[in-house]
Amino acid sequence: MNHPSPVRMETVGNVLIVTLDRPKANAIDAHTSHLLYQAFLTLKVEPDLRVGVVTGAGSRFFSAGWDLKAAVAGEPVDADWGPGGFAGLTEFFDIDKPVVAAVNGLALGGGLELALAADCVVMADHAELALPEATLGLLADSGGILRLRDRLPRAIAVEMILTGRRMGAAEAGRWGLVNQVVESAILLESAIELAQRIADSAPLPVRASLELLRETEGKSVREGFKIMRGGLHFYDRVSASADAHEGPLAFVEQRKPNWKGR
């Protein structure tokens, strides 16, 4: 008997939608982590794809994180999660195309780490976020501690990390941890709309901007300029690109630009 894949892919225009579908909690084992990486790799390598959206099936769980049943059955904490790290994205640093997380329900532990690895987050108004690892004798070492520290006031981040308390959508919105909080019924539509607005921008500057953000994270402005001027793959291609000519021309001619991505 063939079992359906726990990771589904579909495209809407130039947006790739990746859906994690592992009832009941969309938990992630090593096999699923590898499948998620393959989906995000598809986004990276397919030239017609501009932006990814990752979400969970159903409305109760975005993802409960690491599959603790697999853990009890013997899957180690340091299992081979694949080249992109846990959930396929948490250590996929050179994906170079933006990902929007559509958080449709509980994002717990590694589920929150997956959402934090995305570039933008749209969250359903009933959803909640938490890092319960410390209460389970574990550590949120797939980016949860590192990324939450950088996106919340330290005291709030420490409280969540050390106590596992849940943060609701309204609070996440107040802290700027998410881009939008929307009703569940329009969550995916809203995430795709945001992804499409990103995709409407010139693809090369989008990739160069992500590259620059990644390479200068944690650096001072002075250090950032040094890195930027020192040579970056996408950054160095922008000024001489066809799209750098097309953008101003389309503006002057009052038409929509025809981006080539080069």
- Indicate which residues carry an active-site annotation: 113, 133
Q: How far apart are CA 186 and CA 71, in angstroms?
A: 35
- The closest of 102, 168, 175 to 130, measured between CA atoms, is 168
Residue 68 token pair: 């603790």
φ/ψ of 7, rounded to 5, equals: -130, 120
Neighbours of 203 (CB within 10 A): 23
Task: Give strand ranges (E) for 125-224.
Answer: 128-130, 167-168, 180-182
Residue 76 token pair: 């180690």
Residue 152 to residues 20, 115, 214, Cα–Cα distance (Å): 26, 15, 18
The answer to whether residues 201 and 216 touch, using CB atoms and an 8 Å cutoff, is: no
Q: How far apart are CA 255 and CA 235, in angstroms?
A: 26
Parallel, antiparallel, or unpaired: how do β-strands 99-103 and 120-124 relate?
A: parallel
The answer to whether residues 167 and 127 touch, using CB atoms and an 8 Å cutoff, is: no
Maximum separation of any 2 CA atoms in the chain, in Å: 63
Q: How far apart are CA 195 and CA 120, in angstroms?
A: 9
